[in-house]
Amino acid sequence: MDIKTLYSAGMNFDAFMGTGIKSERDRIPKNYSRIEMAKEEVETVKNIEKKINFLVAGEPWCMDFQLNVTVLKKFCELNPNFDMAVITKARGEKFLKPLMEIEEFKVPFIVPLSEEYEVCGDIFVERPKEIKKHVYEDVKMDYLKGQYLKETVKDLIGMITKK
């Protein structure tokens, strides 16, 4: 299976979250309301002129997915050139992991793709880089409360603006 076929098998974010239970769906508006973007960050996202298709692997119950992919949802709302398709972790592990030639598969796994469905930026895996610098247990509660969403914003902007 190729990436384009995987992408076409994906669902939009809202439909994917619709497969989750109520408590999982209820976290999305809360997380969304916690996203803080500086004016420059909003302008950067809005002004990216290239078409980017984000292929995302995840699960509605996954807190990392609920937090970080909600930021990507906002990016897609800010820029009409952005689109997102979400596949399950199992499908990602079975097909995307070997395509990307990676050892360990964690979600969310976000791959930016060009209009031709070629990887066109860095890949986002599980959590923002800033969280990975810490002992997770030390920052877990703040992270789960959305206090690191600004780091997700920075990482996602970095992955799609890298030359």
Q: Is the pLDDT of residue 163 over 80?
A: no
Is 9:56 a contact under the CB 8 Å cutoff? no
Q: Are strands 82-88 and 109-113 parallel, antiparallel or unpaired?
A: unpaired
Q: Which of 46, 49, 44 is nearest to 158 (CA)?
A: 44
> Total domain count for the chain?
1
Tell me which amino acid residue 62 is. C
Give the model confidence (pLDDT) of 79-132 as tens digits: 999 999 999 999 999 999 999 999 999 999 999 999 999 999 999 999 999 999
Residues forming a β-bridge with 83: 53
Rounded to 5°, angle at Cα 24 from 105 and 84: 55
CATH at 68: 3.40.30.10
Range of the domain at 146: 3-161
Give the distance, in angstroms, between the CA of residue 130 and the centroid of all CA atoms in the same chain. Answer: 16
